[in-house]
Amino acid sequence: MKKRILLYALLLTLLSCNSTPDNPADTIYLGGNIITMKGDSAQYAEAIAVKDGKILFVGSEAEAKKYRGDSTIINNLEGKTMLPGFIDPHSHFINATQLVNWVNVSPRPVGQVNSVEELKNTIAEFIKNKPLKENEWLVGYGYDQTMFEDREATCYDLDEVVPDNPLLIIHVSSHGALLNSKALEISNITAETKDPAGGVISRMPNSKKPSGLLMENAFLPVHQNMPKPTIDDLLKSFDKAQEEYTKWGYTTAQEGASSFDDLQLLKKASDDDLLVIDIISYPLFIDMDKIIGKENFGQYKKHLKVGGIKVLLDGSPQGGTAMQDYLTPGPNGEAHWQGVSFVPKDVFFKVMQTCYDNNLQLNVHTNGSGAIQEMIDGMDEINYDKSKDLRWCSVHCQFVTNEQLDKIAELGMVPSFFTNHAFYWGDVHIKNFGFEVANKLSPIESAYKKGLRPTNHTDYSVTPLDPFMTIWTAVKRETRSGQIIGPEERATIYQALQMLTSNVAYQYHEEDTKGTLEVGKLADLVILDKNPLDIDESTIDDIKNTKVVETIKEGMTVYEN
Ligand SMILES: [Zn+2]
């Protein structure tokens, strides 16, 4: 009898082994286009199984069923597309913590404001959803009167929608703002106020009355004296700030130029378990002494990693401050203008040496070829050894020359391009640098030919986080006015996707955990309503209509549309 019971128990165990695997998946996804992003061309899998935040299996549907346990959720994608979660190669996450509380009055396609009427409506709609408290400042961003169909807005237009609270709308250049009457009053700007040196107070026609627009040195003190958000205010914004990323399918974001205070804020958010996606911070070199030896570089702790050090070497090509030969005069009428370096060469080289000695990744903001050359020269000067595998990054790398790309490959650097510039400022670049140089903007095809793994970023909040816009600009290279710049440097759609997934994982030294759908990697996933690879280069405009359906970070849904 005893023997019989034992045999029966053994049989039961065997049977249950057959129906329930030892290692059941939490979720199995199937029934869609699962693009693994492994390799140099598209590879699809029928199914993917996820357990404990990691990828357990990638392969056929039949085999995936082996991982089906009693509690496994089967998620039928119903023809939708799954990719590795997007990895942001360069943006400024910290800006999102403020911008989510500000009203976006940018012109299309960034916002919806191309007239005074639309400006008023957008502000009215915003405060309807988020009523203002007494004396609370309302801030807007993206104001660009050059894109208005009718006329410039004035303080009186703003007063119609916000009469009692101070309102300040930052100009798209960040060099000025439009204020309502209450904000002018608080800032003591009246008809009697004289224009400060290096600043302009716009006036109403035939009058000394301020019209609301303050530029440069008239704007700066107003901006500096505005009440600043408290740490608690900023921490409260973290959910919404991360949603700015997750709603576009990003599961990793960059904070690309962190002040010391920014880093402390990120650490507080991480300690308080507020982070749901990974954030990689690059503190500015000016705080290097306070950080090196104290921070654990390259290691995640509760979704926060300090990736390396950041240097802002030159400025922007559209603002006349990138280190590049200009055909147009400098900001103060200078002939043969070549932009400016913000960091003296000896200081910059010392920073390089320190980062190199401490085995740290260095990200350098280098728009113009002059800045890129200075980075390369510095690396030669310190006898930079590629075998250390530090993957120093030329951020923007917009006007890199062919010879410089060779050198970038030789040094094992990562170029992070910025093709959104082709659309937003391509026409300005043609004017500033000529067609030939503008054509070479963000030369993706050349970089690939040299065996590099380029990435492509938005520099949010400089341009929107929308990854489909980034893919579109990389593939189409069309300016606002409809000119195509450098068609020979166009990316394929697959390359454009690599520049947001696998290549970025490499840039961050995270290719073992992210960037492709492979067993053992993190289950960082995005589901799209359509397959970008179904679109060909001739119908590429359609890519802008792609929608993110769901974003999954380590197996957990962090965004659902
Ligand atoms: Zn940036």
Does residue 221 lie in a domain region?
Answer: yes
Are residues 284 and 195 located together in one domain of the fold?
A: no
* 214, 220, 226, 232: CA torsion to nearest 10: 130
Are residues 167 and 260 located together in one domain of the fold?
A: no
Rounded to the nearest angstrom, the gap between the alpha carbon of residue 268 and the centroid of all alpha carbons in its chain is 22
Are residues 219 and 346 located together in one domain of the fold?
A: no
Does residue 32 lie in a domain region?
Answer: yes
Q: How far is the CA of 504 from the centre of ligand 1 (A)?
A: 16
C-alpha closest to that of 540 among 492, 495, 501, 488: 492
441: alpha, beta or left, given left = phi > 0 and alpha = psi -120 to 50? beta
Does residue 145 lie in a domain region?
Answer: yes
Does residue 515 lie in a domain region?
Answer: yes
Taking the model in full, what pTM does it have?
0.91
In the prediction, which pLDDT does 2 show? 54
Are residues 264 and 132 located together in one domain of the fold?
A: no
Does residue 516 lie in a domain region?
Answer: yes
Between 218-232, 416-430, 484-498, 547-561, the lowest mean confidence (pLDDT) is in: 218-232
Q: How far is the CA of 529 from the centre of ligand 1 (A)?
A: 30
Q: How far is the CA of 283 from the centre of ligand 1 (A)?
A: 12
The total of structural domains in the chain comes to 3
Q: What is the mean pLDDT of residues 330-339?
A: 87
Q: Of the residues 199, 225, 251, which one is the last residue of a structural domain?
A: 225
Residue 386 has pLDDT above 80, yes or no: yes
Q: How far is the CA of 359 from the centre of ligand 1 (A)?
A: 23
Within 175-277, strands assigned E span: 176-179, 199-203, 210-216, 250-258
Q: How far is the CA of 254 from the centre of ligand 1 (A)?
A: 10
C-alpha distances (whole Å) from 258 to each of 21, 95, 423 are 47, 10, 27
Between β-strands 525-528 and 548-553, what pairing exists: parallel, antiparallel or unpaired? antiparallel
Are residues 290 and 315 located together in one domain of the fold?
A: yes
Q: How far is the CA of 177 from the centre of ligand 1 (A)?
A: 21
Q: What percent of the chain has pLDDT over 70?
A: 97
Q: Would you state the structure tokens that stand for residue 281, as one six-digit string?
A: 């911070």
C-alpha closest to that of 120 among 169, 177, 165, 184: 169
In the prediction, which pLDDT does 174 show? 81
C-alpha closest to that of 530 among 29, 92, 32: 32
Are residues 221 and 237 located together in one domain of the fold?
A: no
Q: Of the residues 225, 246, 269, which one is the last residue of a structural domain?
A: 225
Which residue did the predictor score with more confidence, 474 or 19? 474
The upper half-sphere exposure of residue 551, i.e. CA atoms within 13 Å in the direction of its Cβ, equals 22
Q: How far is the CA of 9 from the centre of ligand 1 (A)?
A: 64
Boundaries of domain holding 186: 102-225
CATH number at residue 200: 3.10.310.70
Q: How far is the CA of 429 from the centre of ligand 1 (A)?
A: 18
Are residues 142 and 12 located together in one domain of the fold?
A: no
Distance CA 522, CA 144 (A): 42
Q: How far is the CA of 86 from the centre of ligand 1 (A)?
A: 18
Q: Would you state the structure tokens that stand for residue 507, as one six-digit string?
A: 């840039």
Q: How far is the CA of 462 from the centre of ligand 1 (A)?
A: 7
- The predicted-structure confidence for 310-319, as pLDDT tens digits, reads as follows 999 998 898 8
Q: What is the DSSP letter of 6?
A: H
Cβ atoms of 526 and 559 closer than 8 Å:
no
Q: How far is the CA of 87 from the centre of ligand 1 (A)?
A: 15
Are residues 236 and 213 located together in one domain of the fold?
A: no
Query: First-to-last CA distance in the chain?
Result: 60
User: Reading across the β-sheet that carries 176-179, which strands appear in turn?
Assistant: 103-104, 138-143, 167-171, 176-179, 210-216, 199-203
Does residue 142 lie in a domain region?
Answer: yes
Cβ atoms of 51 and 26 closer than 8 Å:
yes
Q: What is the DSSP letter of 390?
A: -
Are residues 180 and 256 located together in one domain of the fold?
A: no
The model's confidence at residue 16, banded by pLDDT at 50, 70 and 90, is very low
Are residues 17 and 130 located together in one domain of the fold?
A: no
Does residue 55 lie in a domain region?
Answer: yes
Q: How far is the CA of 333 from the centre of ligand 1 (A)?
A: 27
Are residues 192 and 61 located together in one domain of the fold?
A: no
Within 230-360, strands assigned E span: 250-258, 278-283, 304-306, 308-312
Burial 63-78 (b: 16+ CB within 10 A, else e): ebbebbeeebeebebe
CATH number at residue 37: 2.30.40.10
Using the structure block, give the residue that is written with the tokens 């914004």: 237
Q: How far is the CA of 312 from the centre of ligand 1 (A)?
A: 9
Are residues 346 and 451 located together in one domain of the fold?
A: yes
Does residue 6 lie in a domain region?
Answer: yes
Q: How far is the CA of 418 from the centre of ligand 1 (A)?
A: 10
Q: How far is the CA of 220 from the centre of ligand 1 (A)?
A: 21
What's the whole-number average pLDDT of the chain? 94
Q: Of the residues 162, 196, 225, which one is the last residue of a structural domain?
A: 225
DSSP output for 512-536: TTSSS--TTSB--EEEESS-GGGS-
CATH number at residue 528: 3.20.20.140
Q: What percent of the chain has pLDDT over 90?
A: 88
Residue 287 has pLDDT above 80, yes or no: yes
* 336: number of Cβ within 10 Å: 9
